[in-house]
Structure 1
Amino acid sequence: MDGAEIEEVYEESQDLKPAAHFEVSTSSEVRAEDEVLSYPHEIPPPDDGFLHVCAAIDPNMPDDLKDNVWAQVCMMLEKVDLDDETIAYVACAFYCVMLEMEKFQQKPFSYSMLTILKICSVSVIEFFDKLSRWVQIATSSKKIIDQSHKIESSLSVSFVIFKKLLPIFRSLFQFVGSDSDSSFDSNDLFATIWLMTIIMKKSLPAEDLITSFHLLLCVVEWVYKDLCFHGCEEHIEPESVNTMMESKDGVRVLEVLCRSFDGVLLDAKHFRTHWFNQKRETILPCLDHKDLNIAANHKQYLTSLNSIYQDIMLRKGELDERMFLPEDAANVFDAALDSSAIELLRRGSTDSRFADAELLLTMSTQNCLERLAEVKRSPVRSDAKSYVISSQQLRPLGPITQIDASATSLQRLNPIVPSDYKLEGSALQRYCLQTKDNPLSVLELNSYMLGERFVERVAAECSDREELYDPSISHSPDEHRKAMTMLFYVLVEHIVLGERKQNPERDFQGLLRKEEFLSAVFCCAMELVLFVQESERAFPWCLEVCGLPAISFQKIIEVVIRNETQLTREMARHLNKLEERVLEELAWTHGSPLWTMLSRKPNSVPTCEEAWGNPKTTLVVSPNKRMRYEVDSNNMPQKRLPPCSAQMSFFSKLYYLASLRLTDICERIRVDDRGRRMMWTLLEYILKEERSLFTDRHLDQNLLCIVYVVCKANKADVSFVDIMSHYRNQPQARSHIYRSVRVDSSICPSNGTSRREGVSSGDSSAASSQQLRSHSAVGPSPEKPVSLDGSVPIAVPTTPEPQSTASGHHVDLIVYYNKVFLPRVEEFMRDLSENSTLASLTPMPARRIPLGTPLKRSLSDKVTVVPYSQMSYMQRDTNTIRYRISQSPSRDFRAINRLLSKNRPLYRIAGAPEVNPPLGYRIVI
């Protein structure tokens, strides 16, 4: 690519014009690290416009700050032509310079960024837009880039919380005007609530949307109760009083707010008890927490709160979120403005800071969550929605067509099932006719019996209910049965033909007669029909109809996705979520065939190294050994693994799932390498020696206990509540996972350890046990366990040992940890902490990135960076000369030139083929 092409791409991607020219020193005698950009002129003195801005900000602005900002502006002017946008980049320069000079030096900002933006007449959205370009063009440090993302995310959360506050405020309070300067009006009340909220939000462990919303509800409840206690009837909405006083227990503000404004009551109560009530005195020392009395002390409170927030804002280098406060609180009570907080802010005041409301159009809730995910989570994963999706399961994007609501199941399954598909004359029938014992009758009988079960089950459910349940399925079960049968034949056909290509010598006649295989395929067809019809019958309803164990269904999912190339992305993603559900929970239920499989022989559970095909031995390969690689049609090296059983495949996926979830939590709570190795060693120990801990329980329940017990053993300052708070950021997290854990009936929060599940070693010391015990509390447990679809499942007999039939009940995760989990692993953890070296611990496996799907990170709409494809070991040269532009000395570059001249042929005989001598070095620039 020549210079003209580079300039063209640069103009298109950055929407900026390149500067006229700049000169680079080309002297070969100067060391590369001493070479700098040589501008055609020295930095000019500040112009009048820049000096006017500085004077407006502060007439006594320090000269070093002024000079550094001007130098940054001049540097940008040399790189690009800013046209009329120079003033916006002056604001960016102030921000970056204050970050480098003050925040990164643990000093507060000298000036508010919102004040600078107002003086520069730059809207907030324009500032963020120019700042993102600034950090790219100026090649700013990672600290500046991260900080710019952080302040934008914080402002996004605050905007969403502000929109939530408007209807809440109007439902609880009524408008009170100002009679005098000393009176307590609605403006003061609204400002007090908002200031308390944004101050406490800055002290949250993570400024996520859900926690911030619960914080807002707690603040509103606190203020509302205070006004009611001190008889401020003029501020209280009369209609809200009757609602709040429905119970004899007193004012139920938080419950009513959660019910009316989509809050999670248990999480809100837990947050209020374990964070809000404990932290508010420390964060807000200016308030009288014994008797708040806002009406009498509002002037003093507002002065102190503004001072505290001003200090926090300057210390964190963030934008002033007081910009959301309207000048006239009467606009809050205008119900016509509910649909748009933008219009509300525009009407709040004619002040120029409310012109920044245009930025809020781009800060919707979804955009807010996406930006938070980019900042809070490391690095962006291709499997953020499903932890088990692989590169073979990705589907190309096809044309998006709107499906008619009246379309039949077969029409919705196109192009998987062609409209003219018939079993007679199909490839499946031809294959069956070629076998010694035609299995076609077995296929037809199996599909008929399972189809009959489906129709009978739907009819029975409709007769048991007064109103029609799931009308999309219940209206025409025979039609859906036909669609399932046709899809069943298509899936079997594609599986047999696809696998036959891979194994031409294999006879699939026995497979086509195997009831487990046929039932699993039909169950998969049934689930896909229910999915495209958006049925209310959620998984594992299809397993109950077919009488199929969950682990048998899990075996067929990868086979179906691999061989059915016409599955849409949504279908493949849905099947992967079902496989994840089986791996984490359904495969471990009492009575699962998994327990029979594991009881057949000792050491039946493989280690992660064994399940993954001994990866350690393939990471480093000696040149003298033959490499176990094959080349596919795309000439990409593919690792050839030995064949594995269904059991090996199950544990391979289970280990992968556990490693992703553990790694995510470890990154969030910053666990070191030794702690991660201890967690993984403990997980393998439990699976091999104490696997009954998984019976009738969720994988994540044991993973959270593993994380906590290792943190306690290493004396890390992490509570169980903190771990669960970070866990809730994972896509599969549900509150019932840590609020409802199945235990033996002898376990209850008040009794001792279970005689059957909690057998502790007799020689364990009481001090050690107390050290590892958790003293946190999850909060009130739900009365009944709740499934993922919100239904209340029927109680199933459970026990830690699969052979037992004793019933059990549910407790929260911390009770399970103290009463059941800790006694079973306490002795092993003691040995692991005291007697294990780092080398003896099993390392946590790294996330596998398939060669065919490199992670991509888009920097803009037109520029994408992808990882450079790695060469195979045999293609790598042993001798390499590396040269880093602007870092390596110039003598290295001269050595490269000599090497190239040395290996260039001096002459070539006419008519003879040119023979290039093998280079002894590989040059990397």
Structure 2
Amino acid sequence: MSNDGQEQELGAEVVSGAVVTDDTLEITKAKYTNLCRELNMDSQTEEDGWAMYLDVRQRCVMEGDSLMWLCCCLFAACRRSSTPTVIGQDAVVRGNCVSLNNLLRCCQMSIYDFKTKIKQWCDMANLPQEFVNEIEVLDRKFSITFTLYKRFRNIFDKIFNCPPNEKRHSKYISLHANHANGKCSYIKLDDICWRLFLCAKNQKPSTTVDLVTSFNLMICCIDLIYNNVLAEKRTDLINPKFDGLPNNWTEVDFKANPHCILTYFCDMTEEAKAMKATTFREIMSSFFQTMTIYGHKDNMLGLLANENFERNLKSLNISYEQYVLSVGEFDERILSAYDASDHTNLNDQALRPPVTPLTRKQDLPAQPAMAGEKFEPVLNATNNVKQLSAFDRITEPTEYVKQAGDEVIAKLLKIIEDIKLKFLAKYPSGEAKSRFRLAKSFYYYLLDQILQAEIKNKPEFDLKRLLVQKISLDIFNITLMACCVELVLEAYKTELKFPWVLECFSISAFEFQKIIEIVVRHGSHEGCLNRYLIKHLNSIEETCLERLAWASNSPVWDMIATAPKPLPTHYDVNCDRTAGALQIFLRKVYLLGWLRIQKLCSELILIDKAPERIWHIFEHSITQKTDLMKDRHLDQIIMCAIYIYIRVSKLEDPKFSDIMRAYRNQPQAVNSVYREVLFDLNDDGQPKVTDIIYFYNHKYVPLMKQFAIDYLNMTPDVTGCKIKAADLLLSPHPSERAAQPKKVTQNHSLYVTQMPKNEIQQSPNQMVYEFYRSPAKDLQLMNEKVRGGKRMLSFGDEPGLGQLETKRINLPTHLSQIKAVMDDRESEPRDPK
């Protein structure tokens, strides 16, 4: 059979675009024109948006209401235009002075739908990465505000009270309706408090780029309004059940001295108090100076007085509207204009912990005792920060590290200072110095731990010489410091997401991924890195291995160019002692690829020898057709390997669409992986991007078809029937190292581990219980041993086990931790053999 015939036989089905009729297009055009008239759109932006819509419609199927897609194309056209202002040469207005909320209202589109559709639009319209990043920041900023609003509602209702003569609701016809009565009502109090926070965080946006700092600023705003309510003696608005009330607050001669409520709501009280005394006071001073608010500047009271309240509320509304129009973002006042129950479709997914990556699950600590409770982003963030803050007492290299000598330490400090200057120049926050200080403290701790562990295994070498050798590696110190910065930024839930830290310090993903395993190994010692932060590092490592390290400008390609051909297989890189940087990198890539192949095969119900055969096809693409990975994604090559196996094996199912559907169930899945695949470079050097099916048919099959046919030994004869000979030998695939036992009690030696086959007890005193296998009496015996006579752990189906005496081990803690470990084990891909 000819090559063309083979390629046609192995080709994937092409999903065609929608058939566009003139009538349908005319109706859509009329909708678009009316939308632009309603928004008073300028002609150039209107033309740009329509041209973008037509281009996407030619190439993609746009399901659903066309008005939603018109909303997306018009927003993209507005956002990509900018208008200079009279403020200065560099000052511009983003979003073409079109209110995003007004655009959504005209299109009858919810914020939830917009957030979903605009991300799809970015993929379909092949919008530049800069625009995609802006959308991600926009989404993340709104997620932070939405998360804070939920906390705001909870805190506000604990402090303030709705008088009996008022209706407790906040649904307005307008976000900025005029109010004839100057007296502050409960609803208006809610309004002015939330608007004060919105204006405050936008007054100095560089100080509120993360969740923790924004929360502290919000508490400062609530604290100020609370003190103003006390000063006005509005006892009808105060919740009498609030613990923070002064003792004599209801008395006639009560004098409004400052009453700080930060300690009642802040887990990081000192940091919040510092913000109240500095940043927040500066913001309020500027508001008084610009007459954004009226009252007594010295003590910041009088904001709610009858003569000031209405104009303060109106002024804050006007100030916020001007800001929103200038940046083209969501009008976040909308959150206070509806009941919380009306936001059920919205979520704070952008702030939730990462889905557990497939690799290195064995390094994850057990779930905390309260892991089953509802995830609370602010509490999670503050806990992460406190975890790292435990090391902020370390302000210089440890005594152990200093043994390297003054000259080496001076060089080390010079490297750290250079990194600091880069960070301060690029991190857009007034908190940059404190963030770097915390990262540096953790760096000193990790450096000490890593060096001690490294040198402990080499007692025959001179200590000082080894210290000098390790500390003198610039790239080691730079990547370690960058990793600590990334951990701090993630702990605070900053708007800046990885790989920002690589761009900040000019580090390649190939170099950065080397340090992650080291940090996880030594950072999890004594629990200094919790489960959340370790999962974050594991996700970052996978991102480097799957995509970033394969960029065309990555140093890995220089190493590949000088390496013997073909590249080493997994079997070749399995030696720990002699492997170089490229071999170690490939070893990690192979493991990642194998785990994802297993996961996809399981979803697609491809059993028997299919995973091993697909693995061998995938491995061949890495070792022999390495350029397939350049500026591409590991998952793209894996999906193509699965499909070529299916076609060569003459299987009816699954289809390529089934593979993409199964891929979406993987923890790392994003739509752009199969929507945007590099096909080639144009004459001007710009990348030509296609969908994965086009890439498979026109790039992958020509390079891989012969190997796939020869390897699987399935050759079609002239009648179209397949002739199958004996299977070829299967290539060995990677396997993860065994998980270490995890201690789930503090005061007793109780561990949970995955038990290998034929495991035997190591000592006569050791007791083993196998979940789902051992009889209940074994668990009872273990309980008695831990407690000293009475059982502690149960299956939950025995009577009389619900009551525990004091001084006993906390039963729910044990069970949740054990279940978390077992759940992780059960979700790990199994060796099909």
Per the normalisation by structure 1, the TM-score is: 0.41
Bigger relative CO (Cα 8 Å, ≥ 6 apart)? 2
Which structure has the larger Rg?
1
- TM-score w.r.t. length of structure 2: 0.45
